[in-house]
Amino acid sequence: MTAMSEPAARPVGLRERKKARTRAAIRQHALRLFREQGYYATTIEQIADAAEVSPATFFRYFPTKEDVVLQDDFDVISLAALEAQPPELGPIAAFRAAAAETLAALTADDLARFQETIELTAVIPEIRARSIDEFVRTINQIADAFARRTGRGADEFEVRTVAGALIGVIMSVTVPANTDTWAPEAMLDVADLFARIDRALEYLQRGLPL
């Protein structure tokens, strides 16, 4: 669940389109190289060369090699879908609806890349560790989106608490209870993952009864 951008309804200029293409090219070549020669054997210099950019440009788009796996465009779609939900929907209902729309909009290639991200996270400890930072960043982005929906401040206690609760339940059902058991064969496929997340969000929406 991972780097978001401007909602789709806003006009996108030539510069933004060029940046999006560069970002996508870097990530595409990085994933290809990881498949072909392994994550650890692939250097940032090799990724930059394959994408025809400099290493400095790589770091402008992705702060670390782990981020090239974790930061994708799925959350761009998700945030745009969240902000497009009817204002009368509560935050959890709006988030669930946005997640469902995001899943429905993914192509076969999108799903394959998403699955690849899941599997890399399962086998590379550095990516798993970095994913915690991504969860924190996503809380901030969701808080910003809720603030725009409600006219409140993104740093307000209630807004951040709701954003944190959403990410908390997602983490609880996507991260193994025993983190020593991470393995590709133990990871859910994308459709099952989204179904599990929706079940957790529905449970949150009902007030987490025990």
Q: Given this model, what pLDDT does residue 10 score?
A: 47
- Integer Cα distance of 117 and 174 in angstroms: 13
Residue carrying structure tokens 């990881």: 34
pLDDT digits (tens, 9 = 90+) for 30-63: 999 999 999 999 999 999 999 999 999 999 999 9
What is the number of residues in the chain?
210
Q: Which CATH number fits domain 14-205: 1.10.357.10, 1.10.760.10, 3.40.50.720, 3.40.228.10?
A: 1.10.357.10
- CA dihedral sign, ordered 152, 155, 156, 157: positive
- Per-residue pLDDT reduced to its tens digit, 84-141: 999 999 999 999 999 898 888 888 888 888 888 888 888 899 998 898 888 888 999 9
Query: Tokens for 64?
Result: 């670390």
Average pLDDT, the chain: 86
Q: Does the pTM of the predicted model rise above 0.75? A: yes
For the chain, domain boundaries:
14-205
